[in-house]
Structure 1
Amino acid sequence: QTSNGFRPYVHSSKPNKGMTAKREEIRQKVNDLLTSTGEREKLRDMIEEQLKKSGWNDKVKMHCKEFIKSKGVDNVSVDDVVMGVSAAARSTVPKEVKAATLERLKQFMAKNNIEI
């Protein structure tokens, strides 16, 4: 978690219904390797740092405050806030952060001989 309690979204390990068996196998292998090598935490740290530098965390925090204010602090739960701002938060992740993350994942897959 970040200092403000917000954890950047990381794709769920639940398989998509339309995902092919081969894709699911690759996804699971990558997930397992990311965890076992410690790369998952390094990747999260990199993403978190880039999001902080871009001001994204502050924007999301402000969006959360606005959401809570619009609903009334006594009428909203943490789950309500997460559901209310997650889509907007994900859609505002800077392109540079997405590109750097994708590049790092590609390098990780190449290093571990994982082909798509």
Structure 2
Amino acid sequence: MTSSTSAVEKSEWLIHIPDLPDAKERRAAVFPQHIQRMKSDPQDFWVFGGETTLFRSTMTIISDQYEGATLKDRASPGQPPQITGSAMLVFASRRDDVVARLKDDPLVKERVWDLENAQIYPFFRPRRSAI
């Protein structure tokens, strides 16, 4: 296999994608579709930490996943978080692959995430478990 036809090695990508203004109600309505879409991704796309178990029969993921909401201010007990966007860690060959996956997400299609203002960075963790 020549270098021009060899597979591109995958690496980690750190993503911050803000929500569009007034996305709160849409986020709540679309979030189950987002989770369902994640279940159809390649098993190694989303980076998980700690103990990870994927039950293929029910498509249930139990793990410490490197994905979550970004907040306007720190979370307070008993108060709903003020979500401003999402941050996540994914595993892909190219930035274009990450953008293509984000474009296909219900949170982009239903105008929750602001894809135009997403920040996507190559990311390196010196200590990590095998992916």
TM over 0.5: no
Give the TM-score of the pair, scaled to structure 2. 0.27
Higher CA-based Rg: 1
More strand by share: 2
Q: Normalized against structure 1, the TM-score is what?
A: 0.30
